[in-house]
């Protein structure tokens, strides 16, 4: 029986940040957004572990892509309030009345500050685990052990919603029920299969 539901942030609650960055820099600079995303991915792990900051990432990217612009003029992209997936948030609010709900996100300092400042997370989630704050990312097995312990649930009592197959597979190794997110209709169907009341 499911007692806790864990949600990813980027790609589930909001759009994937790499795609947002790619699109916005393409609009402003005309650089191919696929090149931007590839460059961002190179620094993403260090960023989400809090080892480097947004300015470091953008400086490295601009150097790599031969962009001779002032990095400070584009840093706001890392701090702007994200566009929320309203349907997912409606669903999490309903689920919170019946289940423990948690946010598990590979995230970075500027964005988590923006999220906490602009969004009342407690309205939707009982717990919020951000990689830059806990020092663990979803590609590490340790984070799933950590979250299960914090939720005080058995692995098979937890459902995990993420848009990344690798993250789902890692969570499932611990006995967590994985749901690969594509859209809200599919998510509702998968919840029904797990006897989650939505």
Residues 6+ positions from 189 with CB-CB distance below 8 Å: none
For range 43-53, the mean pLDDT: 96
Q: Which part of the chain is CATH 3.40.50.1000? A: 4-15+81-193
pLDDT band of 160, cuts 50, 70, 90:
very high
Percent of the chain having pLDDT more than 90? 97
Asked whether residue 198 carries a pLDDT value surpassing 90, the answer given is no
* pLDDT tens sequence across 61-78: 999 999 999 999 999 999
Rounded Cα–Cα distance for residues 104 and 159 (Å)? 12
User: By percentage, how much of the chain surpasses pLDDT 70?
Assistant: 100
- What is the rounded CA–CA span in Å between residue 157 and residue 68? 51
Q: How far is CA 54 from CA 60, 77, 114, 136, in A?
A: 10, 10, 13, 18
Residue with tokens 């964005």: 111
172 confidence band (pLDDT: 50, 70, 90):
very high
Please name the fold of domain 4-15+81-193: Rossmann fold (3.40.50)
Mean predicted confidence (pLDDT) in 120-136: 97
């Amino acid at each position: 029986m499911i007692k806790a539901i864990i949600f990813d942030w980027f790609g589930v609650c909001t759009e994937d940040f790499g795609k947002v960055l790619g699109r916005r820099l393409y609009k402003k600079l005309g650089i191919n957004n696929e090149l931007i995303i590839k460059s961002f991915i190179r620094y993403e792990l260090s960023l989400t572990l809090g080892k480097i900051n947004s300015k470091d990432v953008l400086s490295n990217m601009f150097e790599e892509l031969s962009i001779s612009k002032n990095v400070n003029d584009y840093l706001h992209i890392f701090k702007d309030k994200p566009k929320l997936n309203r349907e997912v948030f409606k669903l999490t609010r309903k689920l919170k009345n019946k289940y423990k709900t948690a946010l598990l996100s590979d995230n970075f300092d500027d964005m988590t500050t923006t999220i906490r400042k602009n969004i009342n997370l407690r309205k939707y989630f009982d717990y919020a685990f951000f990689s830059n704050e806990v020092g663990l990312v979803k590609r590490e097995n340790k984070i799933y052990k950590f979250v299960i312990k914090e939720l005080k649930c058995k692995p098979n009592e937890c459902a995990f919603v993420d848009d990344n197959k690798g993250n789902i597979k890692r969570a499932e190794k611990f006995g967590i029920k994985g749901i690969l997110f594509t859209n809200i209709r599919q998510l509702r169907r998968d919840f029904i299969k797990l006897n989650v009341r939505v």
